[in-house]
Amino acid sequence: MVQLLTPEGERVEHPDFRFDLDDEAIKGFYRDMVLTRRIDTEATALQRHGELGIWAQLLGQEAAQIGSGRALRPQDFVFPTYREHGVAYTRGIDPLRLLGLFRGVDQGGWDPNDGNFGLYTIVIGAQTLHATGYAMGLQRDGVVGTGDADRDAAVVAYFGDGASSQGDVNESFIFAASYNAPVVFFCQNNQWAISEPIERQTRIPLYQRALGFGFPGVRVDGNDVLATYAVSKAALQRAREGQGPTLVEAYTYRMGAHTTTDDPTRYRLSEDLEHWKLKDPIQRVRVYLTRNGLVDQDFFDEIDQEAETLGEHLREGCKALPEPHVLDVFDMVYAEGSPELDVQREGFAAYLDSFETAGGSR
């Protein structure tokens, strides 16, 4: 397993991967992870107060998402699941836009072309096929293997250990390998497919499955933001150069629930959770920065205040999200309408207009 920063906050070397950024970048990663965790905890609280219908937590997976997200170039494209809130943050997506989906007022309130970040995918594993097809399209567009760093592009598909058992994921592996597609399959192995442990899903480490499809796999410490960045950067560059797909298994742990409708105390031991708390991805970077005298308390206080401001933005913004109109379904699904849909829309609008009150409003 690739590791460059231990849980005790000590830098270590690896023969194949190295972290090539400076300490300023590590400070930036710390900020990213703290703000990402605040997005998660704030959204969880909003759900508990009835403002969101559900929320998919990422507690404990901040390093996997920030490390891989910061390794992306602007021209790369991301196909997420429904838990990549940290990756969305690195792509410039306002986290308030994420809440609209879980509040039920839209189907994802951001343009995928803004930041090259696709809409969340609820169907488990389906996005890996989308990612592979998009990557094959990049090949045909001539933006792979040209040697132009500002033009060559790659795709990353995020999924969990549970999704690795889906047929869609395995089919995407076959297509990606057969066509040498420039896609990085990034599996966040958080040990639990809802209530099923990883031991019931596979007899070998997940990253080794890639060999059976004909491309390399790497296991990285998913709680180590430096290692995750280094491994993701190498895999993405390999894809951009035309060397094909890579499977990255970020070995981490879901410290929260699968979603806010889940009760993990019913199927896992509290001792396991306490063990993984000692590997907290944020804490190990904080220890590194403090131990090496790279920051003072003001640095942490400023980030904490920024997190408070972000939390206020999410609380106020969530409640102010506009309610959808029922006819939006005709306008927000297809890029262009059709005569048949136009007739359906007009008929449904007339039906709604039939529900008039004495005041003239529906």
Catalytic residue among 258, 284, 286, 288: 258
Alpha helices in the chain (DSSP H): 23-48, 62-70, 85-90, 95-103, 126-141, 167-179, 209-213, 225-240, 270-277, 281-291, 297-320, 328-331, 339-353
Q: What angle do CA 137, 140, 141 make, to 5 degrees?
A: 85
The residue from 11, 267, 275, 291 that is catalytic is 267
- Residue 19 gets the label, from left (phi > 0), alpha (psi -120 to 50) or beta, of beta
Q: Could you tell me if 77 and 153 are in contact, meaning their C-beta atoms sit under 8 angstroms apart?
A: yes
H or E element at residue 142: none
Distance CA 289, CA 136 (A): 41
| Cα 109-158-48 angle, rounded to 5 deg | 55
Reduce the DSSP state of residue 11 to 3 states and report it.
strand
Q: What is the DSSP letter of 203?
A: S
Catalytic residue from among 254, 284, 286, 288: 254
Q: Is 221 helix (H, G, I), strand (E, B) or coil?
A: strand
Active site residue 291: no
Packed helices 281-291 and 23-48: angle between N→C axes, nearest 10 degrees: 140
254 is catalytic: yes
Distance CA 333, CA 331 (A): 6
Amino acid, res. 328: D
Which residues are annotated as catalytic? 254, 258, 267
